[in-house]
Structure 1
Amino acid sequence: MRALFSVLWLMLLAAPAYAGSFAGTSGGASSAGSSASSGSTSGDDKLVLEARDDAAMFVASDGAIRGVRLESALRHLRERDPGSRETSDLQLALAILAR
């Protein structure tokens, strides 16, 4: 329970900072987020949303636990947006959690 609280606290503190860093980029997680929030339920968005549990475990374990769904979502985001190729796995995992 304590670990879950720590993860949630970390998400609350870190998500706005990372979300703001994507706002000024062309494309990137901000465009992916806008398509997800516009009501789109494409397979691509579903793939990323299904990676949320893996992303939470990745963040909570400080990168030690890398789930298959997270790996797929990271690969997908980087293929779809060249700008995210320079973004760390942690930053992308936090962006997935912020969705």
Structure 2
Amino acid sequence: MIALRTLGFSALWVLATSASASSFVATTDTLGGALMGTSDATSDATSSLRDDKIVLAARSDAASFIASQGAIRGVRLEAALRHIRQLTPGLAADDEQLAQAILSR
């Protein structure tokens, strides 16, 4: 009789813990998926400039521009600034801010 109770208790315990574990995994997967969706949406908004060839090519010119406090303005930087302003017409940033943004990408 004690063996039967022990076996019954063990079976119930295994079922209870597996249900909790699977619920935990399902909840974790759901939350993880939601967070990834949010993260992807945010990165999609900024990746267009980060992966842009014109902007990437202007990194060294942007570094020279920042280091010279605006005295050195390379051709690639000028092209990137024009390109960024065409893509985002309502952007209220000066050349130095855009050059720093190019460097931070």
Larger radius of gyration: 2
Q: Give the alignment partner of residue 93 of structure 1, picking from 86, 90, 99.
A: 99
Q: CA RMSD in A?
A: 1.8
Q: Give the alignment partner of residue 79 of structure 1, picking from 86, 89, 100.
A: 86
- Deviation string 1:45-66 (CA, Å, 9 cap, x unpaired) is 0110010000000000000000
Q: What's the offset of the Cα at 1:36?
A: 5.1
Q: Give the alignment partner of residue 52 of structure 1, picking from 59, 80, 87.
A: 59
Question: Which stretches of structure 1, 4 residues or more, deviate above 3 A after TM superposition?
Answer: none
CA distance 1:66–1:36, shift in 2 (3 Å): closer
What percent of counterpart residues are identical?
61
With a CA cutoff of 8 Å and minimum separation of 6, indicate the structure with the bigger relative contact order.
1
**3-state SS in 1 of match to 2:103:** helix
Q: Structure 2 stretches of 5 or more lacking a match? A: 1-43
**1:3 aligns to what?**
none
**2:74 aligns to what?**
67
Size of the aligned set, in residue pairs, is 62
* Bigger share in helix: 2
